Amino acid sequence: MILRAKEGYYRHPTSPEKILRNFYLRDAKTVAIDLLGKILVHRNKGREFRAKIVETEAYLGPHDLAAHSRMGKTKRNEIMFGEGGFAYIFLIYGIYDMFNIVVSEHNDAQAVLIRAGEPLEDPDRRLSGPGKFAQGMHITRRQNGVDLCGDQLFLIDGAPPKKIKKAKRIGVDYAGHWKDRHLRFYDAASEFVSVS
């Protein structure tokens, strides 16, 4: 099944195999890098939205002063303190929902923010930037806590980027020396990355 014949456009996932739990039970930096090139699938109300992930950020746990888990467990972030492989979604600036994937073991409170993707079906859908990504994928706080090993929201395999770039995370200038850590990763060749 070829989806769309447009210049430079993604055509087909190499092997549509669902990503299993053990993928998520590793540290945030490793998973953030390995997520690049994977396909996120969201099935919602009889529709299906898919995107190739091209930009991520790692949040390393309570000691990472940029991570939500730095405050300890609260009503909002409790999903972060659970096992890896679950969706953590929160509202930012009163407007946008941010889609994160909880990773590592129970209580490690690590997560990976998905910052940008390439839409597989409609090339005009903009999925660049975490707010637009969640919006374009129809992911909202209703999906907070959803198991990514289920059938509603999950990942399938995809080819990793040829070249990965690393940079500082966006919007975390409050985080002391953590703001300068290179924990943002993106596909160097993708036009859909939010900030190059």
Partner DNA sequence: GCATCGATGGTG
Partner DNA sequence: ACCATCGATGCA
DSSP string, 55-94: EEEEE--TTSTTSGGGG-S-TTTGGGGS-SSBEEEEEETT
Three-state secondary-structure class, residue 119: strand
Q: What is the closest distance, in whole angstroms, from the C-beta atom of residue 34 to DNA in the complex?
A: 17
Exactly one of 31, 98, 139, 148 binds DNA (CB under 7 A); which one? 98
Q: What is the closest distance, in whole angstroms, from the C-beta atom of residue 58 to DNA in the complex?
A: 9
Q: Judge contact between 170 and 184, C-beta under 8 A.
A: yes
Q: What is the closest distance, in whole angstroms, from the C-beta atom of residue 74 to DNA in the complex?
A: 3
Three-state secondary-structure class, residue 146: coil
Q: Does 71 bind DNA (CB under 7 A)?
A: yes
Q: Does 158 bind DNA (CB under 7 A)?
A: no
Cβ closer to DNA: 13 or 58?
58
Q: Does 176 bind DNA (CB under 7 A)?
A: no
Exactly one of 57, 108, 118, 187 binds DNA (CB under 7 A); which one? 57
Exactly one of 14, 21, 63, 74 binds DNA (CB under 7 A); which one? 74
Torsion of CA 41, 186, 173, 90, to 10 degrees: 0
Q: Does 68 bind DNA (CB under 7 A)?
A: yes
Indicate the DSSP class of residue 184.
Answer: E
C-alpha span between 130 and 42 (Å, rounded): 16
Q: Which residues bind DNA (CB under 7 A)?
A: 57, 59, 66-69, 71, 74-77, 80, 91-96, 98, 100, 111, 113, 126, 128-133, 169-172, 174, 194
